[in-house]
Amino acid sequence: MPQKSVETTKLLLRHDPCKVRAAVFADGEKRVAIIGVDALVIRRPTVEAARKAIGEKCGIPQEAILISASHSHSAGPTGFVLPGEYDDAPQLVKTLAYEKSPCADPKYLAQVETAIADAVADANDHLAPVKAAAGFGNEGSAIFNRRFRMKDGQTWTHPGQGNPDIVEPAGPIDPQVGVLGAWDGDGKLIGCIVNYACHNTTTPGGTSADYVCYIEQTIRGLFGQQAIVVFLLGAAGDITQVDNRSPVDVKQFGEDNCRLVGGRVGAEAVKVLLGLKAGAGPLGPLGFESRMLQIPRRKPSAEHVARAMEIVQRPPPKTLDQTNWIFAKETVLLDAKLKREPIASVEVQAIGVGPAALLACPAEYFCQYGLDIKSRSKFPITLPVTLANDSVGYVPTEEAFGPNGGGYETRLTSHSNLDIKAGQMMADALIDLSSHMHPGAVPHPPPAPAFKGKPWAYGDVPPEAD
């Protein structure tokens, strides 16, 4: 094949570049770094390596550095299984982990670590006085809870468009588009943070940041290419772009759907930024707190493990339906993980930027927890940030594990296995961390000038009806 054709093929395989985007805030006493990465997940070793490099380059404390993955299912190989993670396990387990599971690429991980440190260093090197403001928009037309209560009393995930056994959604959505924007002395938007709760699963084709790329394009289309758009995923563990109850035949995946979600969210962010600019001002104070929670993992029974071992020793089915084999494989990997790490170390983090609090955890957090955190926070602008600083898998509500619960998010895997009370533990810890910080005042536009008694000459005239 000619070289030109090879290069053309490579270009077609990339829909848009996966990026690292960073913002650094300073108030004269403290600095915080907030990073959004176009990646399915960011595992703890990558976070630790990037934080160490940032500390060496910039002197920003590790607990003041927030690194969040967008959860794009079309992004590069950052997980789930890390190089060497199962090297101490039996050969069967290593085969299942390294040959039958999604694995991170060590060269790509090194590239991501370097890009994170470089992005923060660049932002830190260009610190300048800005006016900033934060607020919310509302975009609920493009997202749906993907879990449903069914006529049989159980809860299913994605029961299928038009399924007549659907009764109602099993959880809420969060339509808020959280936005924090910063403008330079000339009134030009230099960047913004956008927080939204929806899986990045529109899969437009090829390697991609998913709908985040169209959020960025929409914002830059009005404010210019200099605007840095840092995307932070909200509590989207059970939220998706797929409408299982849609009465019409519409595309739920692909390029059009990617534009739809990203364009709508980006347009709402634009509306918020346009409204915030008049009231933008100094945002302070800054604050940061973090804590490591020790959360037990759920354990499969001996019978569960034995059945799984029996299944995985047979080749996986050649049909498309490999569900039972995949979950059996995950059970065997979890059993191996439990032998060396029965308790998970889970970081929760709070970063305050004036009236805005970013409350971060490493879970694929169910939406209800995000709403609860917002309602309990003393900060007027609260942005739940998920898949931050690690990845601990799905963290459903306790109700999802009850007699009328269900759905694949509640199944045990090597990735999703925390105690059923983990979600509430994280929420309580995040609220406690944020309670130690003090919200800054919300900037407002200056008051209107006093009336000088001179109305507009064109306007203070009687009608002419002759």
Same structural domain, 233 and 323: no
- Structural domain harbouring 317: 300-338
E-strand ranges in 211-285 read 228-233, 239-240
Which segments of the chain have a pLDDT < 70?
1-12
Rounded to an integer, what distance in angstroms lies between the CA atom of residue 157 and that of residue 167? 13
Kindly state whether residues 207 and 325 are assigned to the same domain. no
Cis upstream peptide for 439 (omega within 30°) = no
73 and 212, same structural domain? yes
Which two structure tokens, joined as six digits, stand for 214? 């169209």
Q: Are 194 and 244 in contact (CB under 8 A)?
A: no
In terms of domains, do 205 and 312 share one?
A: no
Check whether residue 112 and residue 154 sit in a common domain: yes
Rg (CA), the chain: 24
Contacts of 186 (CB under 8 A, 6+ apart): none
Q: What three-state secondary structure class fits 115? A: helix
Residue 454, pLDDT score: 86
Question: In this structure, is residue 380 part of a structural domain?
Answer: yes
Tokens coding 231 = 């995307």
Question: What would the pLDDT profile of 124-133 be if each residue is shown by its tens digit?
Answer: 999 999 999 9
Q: Round to whole Å and give the CA distance between 335 and 89.
A: 10
Instruction: Please indicate, yes or no, if residue 69 is contained in any of the structural domains.
Output: yes
Cβ 238 vs Cβ 386: under 8 Å: no
For tokens 């490999």, the residue is 322
| Residues 6 or more apart in contact with residue 383 via CB below 8 angstroms | 178, 180, 193, 195, 232, 234, 356, 357, 358, 359
Whole-angstrom Cα distance, residue 81 to residue 316? 19
Q: Tell me if 181 is assigned to some domain.
A: yes
d(CA 272, CA 180): 9
Q: Tell me: cis bond preceding 80? Omega within 30 of 0 counts.
A: yes
pLDDT given for residue 8 in this prediction? 39
Nearest-5° Cα angle at 273, 269 to 277: 175
Residues 401, 147: contact at Cβ < 8 Å?
no
Answer yes or no: do 233 and 327 share one domain: no
**Residue whose C-alpha is closest to residue 36's, from 360, 373, 368, 263:** 360
Which amino acid is located at 270 in the chain? V
40 within some domain: yes
171 found inside a domain: yes
What's the gap between Cα 423 and its chain centre? 16
Q: Order of strands across the sheet with 20-26?
A: 20-26, 31-37, 65-69
Same-domain check for residues 280 and 424: yes
Per residue, the 3-state secondary structure of 278-323, as one string, reads HHCECCCCEEEEEEEEEEEECCCCHHHHHHHHHHHCCCCCCCCCCH
With beta carbons less than 8 A apart as the criterion, state whether 466 and 409 touch. Answer: no
Give every CB contact of residue 107 below 8 A, 6+ residues apart in sequence. none
Contacts 24+ apart (CB under 8 A), 448-454: none
454 part of a folded domain: no
- Residue 231 maps to a domain: yes
Distance CA(343)–CA(297), nearest Å, equals 6
Give the helix/strand (H/E) hosting 350.
strand 343-353
pLDDT value at position 453? 87
Please tell me the predicted confidence (pLDDT) of residue 115.
Answer: 98
- Of the candidates 417, 267, 395, 252, the one whose C-alpha atom is nearest the C-alpha of residue 332 is 417
In-domain check, residue 293: no
Angle between helices 106-125 and 44-58 (to 10 degrees): 30
- What does the block give as tokens for 166? 């659907």
CA distance 55 to 63: 10
**Number of domains forming the structure of the chain:** 2
- Length of the chain as a residue count: 466
Query: Quick one: pLDDT at residue 11?
Result: 44
Residue linked to tokens 């800005």? 130
pLDDT value at residue 342: 98
Nearest CA among 190, 185, 268 for reference residue 25: 190
Helix pair 323-340, 302-312: axis angle to 10 deg: 120
- Whether 276 and 320 map to the same domain: the answer is no
Helix (H, G, I), strand (E, B) or coil at 190: strand
Structure confidence at residue 118 (pLDDT):
98
Residues 230 and 322 in one domain: no
Q: How far is CA 335 from CA 89, 100, 124, 301, 302, in A?
A: 10, 16, 43, 10, 10
Asked whether residue 176 falls in the same domain as residue 305, the answer is no
200 with 313, same domain: the answer is no
Note whether 317 and 179 are same-domain residues.
no
